[in-house]
Amino acid sequence: MRLAIAVPLVVSLLGAGSIQLGRWERSQSFLDYLHKSGLPKELYYSLDGEERELVSELRAGALYYTLFDDNGTIEQVLIPINEELQIHIYREQGAYGIALIPIDYTQRAESFWIALEGGPYNAILDATGNVGLAYEFLRAFKGSIDFRRSIYKGDRVAILYDQKYRLGQPFGLPRIKAAMVETRGKRHYVFAFEGRFYDEQGKEMERFRLIRPVRARISSPFTLRRWHPILRRWRAHLGVDFAAPAGTPVRAAGPGRILFAGYKGGYGKVVIIAHRDGYKSLYAHLRSFRKGIRPGRFVGQGEVIGYVGSTGLSTGPHLHFGLYRYNRPINPLRVVRIAKGRLSGAKLRRFKGMVARYKREIEELLAQKPERTRVEKIKLVSYIGEEHGAKRTD
């Protein structure tokens, strides 16, 4: 679709031309894309190993922008890799160049409450058009409230959250700060603290736990974006690297179904496992797969799935371990934890202060009329796979 709207970031550089908004196609590789768009393949080959790893991360449904000049020649393309970093293809003196650059976005604090008539998923979707928000809400309360049984007409939901906007479009998953469900007059709260959800008492809500796939030193941590001062380039590392010798058995971090076992660009030989609650784990640069590991098979937590190697673009044997929620990379170490999920000491005191603040905010919100913050549907939310875009029964 051609957009008539002026998108300031790019248009200001040119003053003319048109912008096309596209969605990254399912199982389209970066090379496929270059070929289809008539862009030189050299753009891919000029990337180094780490950058090619990132390019393997391009996912179905991600929104990207193409800027054409008046003759229909591509001037610039912006393709997001994650919520922080994007591929920038540009034309300079007739030749194309490529670089990774940070994504410009703004963040807005938003909030709303609604009275329920049925399940909260569709109610939140109807009120806000925000698929990601509906999903995050369900995740926040997962395991504590059975929405199928315990929701009655007139029950209420209130949410405080932050939403990123990129070029005027909602972007990335919203970050819920606090949420409340009132069923038959009783209020249940969840609060986000250091990337995880807790109840009012500081007890962790989520039960999903992963184990480390290998016992080895971490040689490279997770980062959504960082500036590499020596290479003078922007980087991201969408997983954790473990420095393990070649041949070390790699174990499934959690129970799940094998989605993929094969070759994937810079990642080399890869196994991807789908877990519950929208989680996927990825194991890259494997030397080989364990016999019988193929798509569709279920594996238990700790089951050997393959062996450490250095296939793909890898400087030496190591395991690259990635974790995704709704196809969005997250830091695996946040979920791989052994400690009991209960806050204590100074952390608990800090948490309690935050809880009091957010509860007051929710109270003030409920005193207002129920608000429908967004009228238009947010259909094109990047980083939520297409399979998560539809309505569902909850």
Segment near Zn ion (CB under 5 A); pick from 27-35, 76-84, 114-122, 312-320: 312-320
- Tokens linked to 327: 């196809």
Amino acid at 176: I
Do 392 and 134 form a contact (C-beta atoms < 8 A)? no
We find the least distance from the C-beta atom of residue 338 to Zn ion, in angstroms, to be 23
Question: With binding defined as CB under 5 A, does residue 264 bind Zn ion?
Answer: no
Q: Choose between 23 and 52: whose C-beta lies nearer to Zn ion.
A: 52
Tell me the site size for Zn ion, rule CB under 5 A: 3
Handedness of CA 386, 389, 391, 392 (dihedral sign): positive
Specify the DSSP element, H or E, that contains 53. Answer: helix 49-55
- Tokens linked to 305: 């799935």
We find the least distance from the C-beta atom of residue 318 to Zn ion, in angstroms, to be 7
Q: Closest residue (Cβ) to Zn ion? A: 320
Q: Choose between 21 and 333: whose C-beta lies nearer to Zn ion.
A: 333
- Tokens linked to 240: 């954790």
Q: Choose between 51 and 75: whose C-beta lies nearer to Zn ion.
A: 51
State how far the Cα of 330 lies from the Cα of 220, in Å rounded to an integer: 15
Q: Choose between 134 and 210: whose C-beta lies nearer to Zn ion.
A: 210
Handedness of CA 33, 130, 373, 200 (dihedral sign): negative
Q: What x-and-dash track marks residues 236-255 binding Zn ion by CB under 5 A?
A: ---x-x--------------
The residue behind tokens 């996927």 is 280
Question: With binding defined as CB under 5 A, does residue 269 bind Zn ion?
Answer: no
Q: Choose between 269 and 320: whose C-beta lies nearer to Zn ion.
A: 320
- Tokens linked to 124: 């939140």
We find the least distance from the C-beta atom of residue 380 to Zn ion, in angstroms, to be 29
We find the least distance from the C-beta atom of residue 116 to Zn ion, in angstroms, to be 43
- Tokens linked to 263: 């070759």
Segment near Zn ion (CB under 5 A); pick from 1-9, 36-44, 271-279, 320-328: 320-328
Q: Choose between 50 and 136: whose C-beta lies nearer to Zn ion.
A: 50
> Which residues contact residue 95 at a Cβ distance below 8 angstroms, ignoring those fewer than 6 apart?
none
Amino acid at 365: L
Question: With binding defined as CB under 5 A, does residue 285 bind Zn ion?
Answer: no
Segment near Zn ion (CB under 5 A); pick from 57-65, 114-122, 146-154, 235-243: 235-243
**Helix, coil or strand: residue 340:** coil
Do 164 and 105 form a contact (C-beta atoms < 8 A)? yes
User: Which listed residue (320, 324, 343, 381) binds Zn ion by CB under 5 A?
Assistant: 320
- Tokens linked to 165: 């906007």
Site residues (vs Zn ion, CB under 5 A):
239, 241, 320
